[in-house]
Homo-oligomer: A and B are copies of this chain.
Amino acid sequence: MPSLTLKAVEKWFGEVQVIKGVDLEIEEGEFVIFVGPSGCGKSTLLRMIAGLEETSRGQILIGDRDATAEPPSRRGLAMVFQSYALYPHMSVRDNVGFPLKSAGLPPAEIKEKVDEAARVLKLDAYMDRRPKDLSGGQRQRVAIGRSIVRDPTAFLFDEPLSNLDAALRVEMRYEIAKLHQTLAATMIYVTHDQVEAMTLADRIVVLEFGRIAQVGTPRELYERPANLFVAQFIGSPKMNILPAAHVRGLTLADGTVDVGIRPEHITLGMDGAHVDGVVDILEYLGADTFVVVDCGEAGKLTVRVAGDTELKPGDAVGLIFNTTRTHGFDSAGLAVS
Contact = CB atoms under 8 A, between A and B. Distances in A.
Interface residues of A, number: 30
B198 A235 contact: no
Contacts of A286: 198, 218, 222, 234-236, 262
Kindly report how many copies of this chain are found in the complex they form together: 2
B198 A284 contact: yes
A281 B177 contact: yes
Interface string A226-242: 00000000111100000
Contacts of A234: 286
A247 B190 CA distance: 41
B222 A174 contact: no
Nearest to A239: B286
A176 B165 CA distance: 24
A28 B306 CA distance: 31
Given A174-B292, A222-B307, A292-B174, A235 B287 contact: yes
A195 interface: yes
A125 interface: no
Interface string A107-146: 0000000000000000000000000000000000000000
A248 interface: no
Nearest to A232: B167
A285 interface: yes
Given A198-B286, A222-B307, A234-B286, A165 B281 contact: no
Nearest to A281: B177
Contact of A284 (B38, B218, B308): B218
Interface string A218-262: 110010000000000011110000000000000000000000001
A283 B218 CA distance: 11
A198 B285 contact: yes
A281 B198 CA distance: 13
A199 B262 contact: no
Contacts of A198: 283-286
A23 interface: no
Contacts of A288: 264
The 5 nearest A-B residue pairs measured at CB: A222-B286, A199-B283, A264-B287, A235-B286, A198-B285
Interface of A: 38, 165, 170, 174, 177-178, 195, 198-199, 218-219, 222, 234-237, 262-264, 281, 283-288, 292, 304, 307-308
Given A198-B286, A262-B286, A264-B288, 13 more contacts: A174-B292, A195-B285, A198-B283, A198-B284, A199-B285, A219-B284, A219-B308, A234-B286, A235-B286, A235-B287, A264-B287, A264-B307, A287-B304
